[in-house]
Amino acid sequence: DDEDDDDDADAEYDDDEEEEDDDDDEVAPEPPATGLKSDEVGGRFNYVLADGPDESEDDAAAFVDAPSLASEPVASSPTLDAAAFEAPSETPLVPGLDRTWCTALVSDDYVNYARYFLREFGVEQAANFDDVHVDDCDDAAAAAAAAAKYLSKKTGRPAIAESTVLEIEALESATKLLPRAAAAYRVPRVDAAAAELLERLATVSPGDRRTRFVTCCAFHDAATGLGANSRAEVRADLESADVLTAGITRTEAFQALLMALINDERAAAAAPGLKFEFFEFRRERAISAPPVLTGAAQLRERLRNDARVLSNGNVDVSAFVGSNVDVALLDDAAAELHRRLGPLVTDHVTKILTTGASGQQIALPLARFMSVPLVVCRREVEDASDKDLSAPLGRVAYADAVDVTYRSKHFGPGQQLYLPKDALTERDQVLVVDDFLASGSCQEALLRLISKCGARPLGLAVLVEKAFERGRDFLAGWPVPVASVASIVSVENGYIELAEDD
């Protein structure tokens, strides 16, 4: 409560199951100047002298109807109400999942649990918003329902929200305790402040003082206007109660809600087609299924029909990459590279690194497909003359750069790659992308550049691999997977021979 409410010690204890006892009505005395005060532990706790929670029901998680209130609670979120907010994608990024939902959950551990439990139902947690707040609502079920409706409306995705309340019984016969220490408490948000309250009360209360944790979960889909609600509670003595106990009720309510969306006739209409199946089975089926992408087949056809072998052994693909860019082909090729790399790589990549115009042409659609930033390093010849206007800008383009040097098969030694120092950080896990893998010298330099920045290389993806130049063998010292859309095994006599596609 605010400081203005510190003297109001006779507020009602909000407990739906409390039995009225007219004979024991008491008026709280004026709170003393010292002792346990609500504003010392966050200023958000209602306290009265009243009976504690009754124990007429067993601990349980149950599907419940959404409460009917005279006025709808008002929910808000600084993140969702910001002008720059962009709604999460409707398309799951993880193979095996077929829909995306948003959540409004407070505890970090609970958010992670929800993310992985939702996968068992084919749902990807598109985003979690822990700053959704419901104003002036003492009913946990109503607060959860209001938050879910607000979140789904703002994001355009089905949403799950939760509200967890801690209740602590009053001690009527505790004559030696200060009034506020003996009062009943109702905490509308179980967090660090609630943990401090439990710790303070435990030092001055008998160990068997009763507490109750109640969690209500709500699901809502703004597109259909349908939803579902669940409730779970756990009672514990004060000496054994802590905020981790709330994890039990949160887990039970969350599981009850999802099972209701499958088994309850009323709730199932809100999420049609929802089905429980272990995520490992879902992903294995998605990965092993015959690919529906046509990127590899199209690229192989273009290599056979439109590519030319030059006198120096290079393969000219300017008919569809480089000078004349077949955008649709490269989009399909990027999707194929994403599939071939697999979730062990793609789920963890934070940035893509490439160099050269042709490298960017395949890196751009792949970065867009994976929703990660693209970083492009510059290339320069080490001994390029100041008068050589054809030399690309390298070190002179950056105030503070990281560089590596390598030997190119076609351009000779002294080739350098430059990158701003802050382009990659120690937290980044980087995928190298290029148009061709030939000798592997350029790609090896890119891997060294990543390591020099303190980041971690995760893999290499190329459009075309010239397998006969053994670039993959050259890179064998780097423990990263290599994926290509097409592989050329020979260019003898000007004829392009492709490896059998897997």
List, for residues 44-93, the tens digit of each pLDDT value. Answer: 333 332 233 343 344 445 444 444 445 678 899 999 999 888 888 888 98
3-state secondary structure of 47: strand
- Count Cβ atoms below 10 Å from residue 201 Cβ, excluding itself: 23
Q: Are the C-beta atoms of residues 304 and 496 closer than 8 Å to each other?
A: yes
Q: How far is CA 439 from CA 21, 472, 473, 474, in A?
A: 86, 8, 9, 7
pLDDT by residue for the chain (502 residues), tens only, comes to 444 444 333 333 333 333 334 444 443 333 333 222 333 333 333 333 223 334 334 444 544 444 444 567 889 999 999 988 888 888 898 889 999 999 999 877 788 889 999 999 999 999 999 999 888 777 889 999 999 999 999 999 999 999 998 999 888 765 566 777 888 888 888 888 888 888 888 888 888 889 999 999 999 999 999 999 999 999 988 888 888 888 889 999 999 999 999 988 888 888 999 999 999 999 888 888 665 546 788 898 889 999 999 888 889 999 999 889 999 999 999 999 999 999 999 999 999 999 888 889 999 999 999 999 999 998 775 554 444 444 444 555 666 788 899 887 766 777 888 898 889 999 999 999 999 999 999 999 999 999 999 999 999 999 999 999 999 999 999 999 999 999 999 998 889 999 876 5
Report the distance separating Cα 346 and Cα 366, nearest Å: 10
Please write the tens of the pLDDT for every residue from 167-187: 998 887 655 667 778 888 888
Q: Which two tokens stand for residue 61?
A: 């998680």
Report the distance separating Cα 398 and Cα 203, nearest Å: 60
With CA atoms as reference, report the closest residue to 446 among 474, 410, 487, 411.
474
- Count Cβ atoms below 10 Å from residue 96 Cβ, excluding itself: 20
Token pair 């697999």 in the structure block, residue:
342
Token pair 């551990």 in the structure block, residue:
109
**CA quadruple 137, 143, 145, 149: dihedral, nearest 10:** 80
At a CB cut-off of 8 Å and minimum separation 6, what does 374 contact? Answer: 351, 352, 354, 360, 363, 364, 367
Token pair 């990127």 in the structure block, residue:
295
3-state secondary structure of 50: coil
Residue 397 carries which DSSP code? G
